[in-house]
A = this chain, B = another copy of it.
Amino acid sequence: MFSVSAKTQYAIRAMSYLATLGGRSATSAEIASAESIPSKYLEGIMSLLKTSGLVDSERGKHGGYRLAADPASITMLSIVEALDGSVKPVTCVDAIGSCAQGQGCQPRKFWIGLKDAIDEYLGERTLKDVTEG
């Protein structure tokens, strides 16, 4: 239960690898090789990270990816959300009525509390913590 998608695990390992380079840039292929990630699959992941503004990219020869910010200021929550979207134990977390149960049910507050607990854990740890810890 609550298993994390391979996509997100890959993304975090990739970000972690970039963090060890001290600002140097790396190609998708280099990261894939270093972290044992299917190379072609990683390309798509890096694109998502780019779209979310977590990494910067340059195309063409000598292109590659680099972190867009300091590892200490990139929260794990931002990485997770970039790939799998925001934490939603149930579909009605923000808008009540978006559940199968129209008007909300008893356990709803409980699920929202769970979301808050997860968000808090993910939000207060940074890429730096994870890479060094």
Q: How many residues of A contact B (CB 8 A)?
A: 41
Question: With A2-B87, A87-B1, A88-B2 in contact, is A13–B107 under 8 Å at CB?
Answer: yes
Q: Which residues of B lie under 8 Å from residue A101 when comparing CB positions?
A: 36
In the complex formed, the residue of B with least CB distance to A109 is B133
For chain A, residues 50 to 68, give those with C-beta under 8 angstroms from any C-beta of chain B: none
How many copies are assembled? 2
Closest beta carbon of chain B to A89's beta carbon, Å: 5
Max chain B Cβ within 10 angstroms of own Cβ: one of A9, A16, A81? A9
A48 is an interface residue with CB less than 8 A from chain B: no
Q: Which residues of B lie under 8 Å from residue A80 when comparing CB positions?
A: 1
